[in-house]
Amino acid sequence: MVLLTFCLGASLTACAQKTPPPAAAVATFNQMFKNVEELQWEKEKNGEWEAEFEQNEVEMSANFSADGKWMETETEIKFAELPAPVQAALKGKKVKETAKIQKSDGTTVYEAEVKRKDMIFDASGNLLSEGKD
């Protein structure tokens, strides 16, 4: 019985442990973001590392490659903060969340969650992509 309890405890502990993010990604994150709260790292399916956190009471996330290259930063914003053409493109839709996404190539896009799908727009209100949340 003791052996069974020990094995069960060891397996639960192993499941609870996550792979830590690469040091290069953490170093770049620490250079870019200060005074963050509730930081959590997660490895994405595409191999990137995502840091989810709060900064100045705003929910954010930032993605990095394993070698520490910054890929993008997503910042939660209010619907009213979307560019007017994006707001117009979403007229009549029930929007759950909105965000501004700054990409490493210098572009900025806007995300709106509608019916558990993420809709990505450029500043002119053109739909660039739509996919599951």
Distance between CA atoms of residues 30 and 16, nearest Å: 25
Both tokens of 131, joined, read 């996919």
pTM of the entire predicted model: 0.83
Please give the chain's pLDDT, 133 residues, in tens: 444 344 444 444 444 448 899 999 999 999 999 999 999 999 999 999 999 999 999 999 999 999 999 999 999 999 999 999 999 999 999 999 999 999 999 999 999 999 999 999 999 999 999 988 6
All domains of the chain in start order, with CATH: 2-132 (3.10.450.360)
